[in-house]
Amino acid sequence: MRRTVTTIVLYVAALVILVGCGRVRYPNYYTLNLPQPPDPPAAESAHATLAIREFSAPTYLRQGAIVYKTSPEQIRFYAYHRWAADPREVVTNAVIDRLRASAAFARVKPYDGRPDASYVLSGRLEKLDELDYEGGVKVEVRLSAQMTSIATGATVWTNAVSEVGEVNRRDVSAVVAEMNGTMERAIEKLLTPVPADVITGSTAAKQN
């Protein structure tokens, strides 16, 4: 009995020392805060409709932690700096918002598996990384996408872009702020060259 009491006392004492010497550290959470464009009515020349699948991403970008690289081959994760929202979801919603605001399509909606659109857009978030090599701190965003006809399964448009931004100070908040700006530029470049015949629906008409 005396041995048990002594063990408990030592355990409590050690716990008090640990609590007194150290403090609990909680993660910091961040999100991509991409500006939302206006949502005008569809242009009269737009007849095609578009459904957008949620963007995919490599496994390492789906872990929740913000990623940094100390070399092209080595991927590391911040232990206490994490994404509050899945970047794939944020990018998908931003693409939907921008295509709606462009008035390029008669209707743009998230893909729900139903064949009630002219085209479906599938995209991939290839990179959303902090780069800590070759001098200074940078961020890299890489996106790719393709559009296919739901009626025929034929690919009617593809594009891939890569953007790099310079971080002006060495902290994670500055890194995330630069990721916002770099992501915005990448999305704009990704969606710029959509062919006119896709927008008017003439491609779908030819295929049918």
> Domains along the chain?
28-207 (3.40.50.10610)
pLDDT at 169 over 90: no
Contact 131, 162 (CB under 8 A): no
Contact 66, 172 (CB under 8 A): yes
Phi (first) and psi of residue 105, to 5 degrees: -125, 150
* Nearest residue to 174 via CA among 134, 136, 142, 126: 136
Token couple for 72: 């092209």
pLDDT at 207 over 60: no
Of the candidate ranges 14-23, 41-50, 81-90, 193-202, the one whose mean pLDDT is the lowest: 14-23
Q: What is the pTM of this model?
A: 0.81
Residues 6+ apart with CB under 8 A from 177: none
Q: Specify the pLDDT at position 23.
A: 73
Token couple for 58: 């490599």
* Average pLDDT of the chain, as a whole number: 85
Q: Specify the pLDDT at position 42.
A: 56
The pLDDT tens digits of the residues spanning 100-152 come to 988 888 899 999 998 899 999 999 999 999 999 988 899 999 999 999 999 99
pLDDT at 10 over 90: no
* Nearest residue to 121 via CA among 91, 166, 142, 82: 91
Distance, in Å, from the CA atom of 132 to the CA atom of 203, rounded to the nearest integer, reads 45
8-state DSSP, 161: E
Token couple for 53: 């699948």
Which pLDDT band, with edges at 50, 70 and 90, does 199 fall under?
A: low
Other Cβ atoms within 10 Å of 166 Cβ, number = 10
Which pLDDT band, with edges at 50, 70 and 90, does 38 fall under?
A: confident
Label the pairing between strands 119-131 and 107-110.
Answer: unpaired
